[in-house]
Copies of this chain bind each other. A is one copy, B any other.
Amino acid sequence: MIFIGERINAGFKEIKEAIINKDGSVIRESARKQADAGANYLDVCLGTASANVEDLVWMIEQVQAEVDLPISIDNNKISMLQEAIPVCKRPPLVNSTTAVDEKLDSLLPLVAKYKASIIGLVMDETGSPKTADKRVEIGGKIFAKILEYDMSPEQLFLDPIIMPLKFMQEQSTEILGAASQFRLFSDPPCHIVGGLSNVSNGAVHKKIINRTFAVMLVANGLDAVIMDVLDTELVDAILTAELIMNKSIYADSYLEAFRK
């Protein structure tokens, strides 16, 4: 599993304040904690704290001063990415593009140039799809586009768009069905990613809903996830799901081994 840590996001109050006050220690501490918990990428999101690329670059620099992990740049503006991507020491993940042609044709040349990766949300001009088939159709369009720009399937993280269970209960099976079909686009396949916490948006029992849906997603091919890597029970559930799917080799101490 490619764990993408979600905590360096101005949606969290302490991160927003850190950005405004230029208090790098808060960013660095979060980076360290998430790295220690097993994160493979760290997502960095300015949110509403700032619209200045200098602030985004500053955040990336804080993270890179603390840990040796690639960055997931949570921004879809070409002007921001043009400045932020070159600052990344390791090829970053751009989070994200839709299937809208203008967006793809603007972002993909930049992503390709830096051998970065990109999250492709399966939505287009008409909005978010309601069915598995429509998700696959839009995913296929994004997949074809990255090949046009000479990117490899491994540089694409397709996101079936996880919807809140509370408000769109019938969507979960469509999302699982789409994920299982994304795998069939190529061999080796592109990555399949999701913003997990969306599923429990508005729910009371958020954590158990997150980890239960995560297990089902793993069974349907998800191999990357944007989530709270500090949620140990969630990490354990995902490690166990991968063990059951024979993606890792059984050892009695498979959970302890991950912590080392």
Residues of A participating in the B interface, judged by any CB pair closer than 8 Å: 165-166, 169-170, 172-173, 176, 199, 203-205, 208-209, 212-213, 215-216, 219, 236-237, 240-241, 243-246, 249-250, 252-255
Contact = CB atoms under 8 A, between A and B. Distances in A.
B255 A205 contact: yes
A244 B219 contact: no
A64 B205 CA distance: 36
A199 B253 CA distance: 16
Grouping DSSP codes into helix (H, G, I), strand (E, B) and loop, the A interface class, with mixed when no group exceeds half, is: helix
**Complex copy number for this chain:** 2
A216 B244 CA distance: 9
A180 B240 CA distance: 21
Given A216-B215, A216-B244, A244-B212, A250 B169 contact: yes
Contacts of A253: 204
B169 A240 contact: no
7 contacts: A172-B244, A205-B240, A205-B255, A209-B243, A209-B244, A212-B244, A216-B219
